[in-house]
Copies of this chain bind each other. A is one copy, B any other.
Amino acid sequence: MRIAELSRRTGVPIPTIKYYMREGLLPQGERTGPNQARYGEEHVRRLRLARALVEVGGLPVASAREALALIFSSGVSEFDVLGKAQYALTPPRERAGDGAGDDAGDEAAAQVDELIARRGWQVKPGNPARRTLADALATLRRLGEDDYLDLLETYAETAEQLADTEVRAISRRGDLHSMAEAVVIWTALGDPVIASLRRLAQEARAARLLGGTAEDTS
């Protein structure tokens, strides 16, 4: 198949496909001449995947490249697919702002460690989610929301349930490639799915508790 068909089948404009190739999200097609190449089903799949990560998952192109490289490489064992995917999928974050004499950050980091230990979780010290979580907690604390501890407990409990179901579902996959793919897809797309469901459930619960009606306020 040539590039026009690749574009038609995926809905991605040709210039964008070329851009993705330049950026390493897609490999070159099989060359048949100085200005001709052929693309196969793997290109279709990989392009769809790239599009999903960038558009729905909101990943930066560089992170999508990492994630795709992970999926379509052969050097991963099932023991570190997940870790590597998490590294690839977490866009780099700069150190959060250090105001004057601000120790909220350190306290939050300690709190994260404590939470992980208390739950009996085995988490690598380099997992970027530690940092993200600590940053968010530090911010919460700076905003005076220091009564977040019970909410955090609920969140952690909930996250455990999610992770349990997810890891079980993933481990049912046959081959390693399919597992890696599922890990990336669900890590990246699970976030918006969960966020949406949370909002929907919030509105429903609020309507019930506060007696609001289902009228549109727009």
Contacts and interface: CB of A to CB of B under 8 A. Distances in A.
Interface stretch (A17-25, A28-36, A75-83): A75-83
A137 interface: yes
Interface in A64-106: 78-80, 82-84, 86-87, 90, 96-100, 102
Contacts of A151: 165-166, 169, 186
A175 interface: no
Interface string A98-119: 1110100000000000001001
Nearest to A167: B205
Given A52-B139, A129-B200, A194 B194 contact: yes
Contact of A160 (B160, B195, B205): B205
A122 B204 contact: yes
A118 to B, nearest CB: 12
Contacts of A100: 8-9, 11
Contacts of A122: 203-204, 207-208, 214
A127 B200 CA distance: 8
Nearest to A158: B158
A78 B210 contact: yes
The list of the 9 closest CB pairs from A to B, nearest first, reads A121-B204, A163-B201, A11-B99, A133-B196, A159-B197, A129-B199, A79-B212, A129-B196, A159-B201
Given A79-B213, A130-B200, 18 more contacts: A48-B143, A56-B139, A79-B211, A82-B203, A116-B200, A122-B214, A124-B214, A124-B216, A126-B216, A126-B218, A132-B196, A136-B192, A139-B189, A150-B169, A151-B166, A151-B186, A159-B198, A162-B202
6 contacts: A11-B99, A122-B207, A140-B189, A155-B194, A191-B191, A194-B195
